[in-house]
Structure 1
Amino acid sequence: MDGETLHDTARRRAEALPEARLEYPFGPDWDVFKVGGKVFLLVVEVRGERVAILKAAPLDAEALRTAHADITPGYHMNKRHWITLSPGGSIDAALVEELVTDSYRLVVAGLPRARRPALPDELRG
């Protein structure tokens, strides 16, 4: 998967999630997707490479980094709870969509009940 496809796939999936909001708190070069005021996806270019940065459960993050050469610890984030997806052959669109959804679910689960969006059945964990 090339960088443009990675960015487009991650953005499209994030935009389709209930109450997801795109913001620019770090400037126009950082697409920051939030739910309930909390970040679940960052889409940015790092050192000339387009990447997506996502929240992940620590054990899942470790397994993903082991299984996929293009998944590394979260750039400028907590390395245990965040991962970075980079362009390359070890990830595809289905995996990107799944990881964006998982990141969203993790963040929603951590929100106070009053701030959680109503989730359709397919998003309930």
Structure 2
Amino acid sequence: MSGGRGSGSRSKRRQVSAQERAAAVEDYRDSVGRLQHTAYRNLRQTVAYATIFVAVIAVWMLFIGQATPATFPWYAVSILGGALGLATYFVREPRPRLYVLAVAVVLAVVGVTGMFLTS
């Protein structure tokens, strides 16, 4: 004997009421919503950490004397981007936090690009 499913096993599904189906759909939607919220929060934190990391590297380069008069403004822009990346943790409203994070990313990218182009 094979011990597997019988030939007619597909037609032996459990019947589910409309209320049970609606509850299952609602549970699924809640679950996906929580997953999306967590994924967005993790992405936002990672981007903020990246801007902070760029700022820390820029401060380190200033302290070890790598900044020249031509590169100093770009280091300052990167540090400002990192400060705004850190500020995203203190902004509680979602829309302003998104704007602060976007400005932080733009400043960090502009600062790093300027550093590479002037060195």
- Say yes or no: TM over 0.5: no
Higher strand proportion (structure 1 or 2)? 1
Q: TM-score, normalised by structure 1?
A: 0.29
Q: Which protein has the bigger helix share?
A: 2
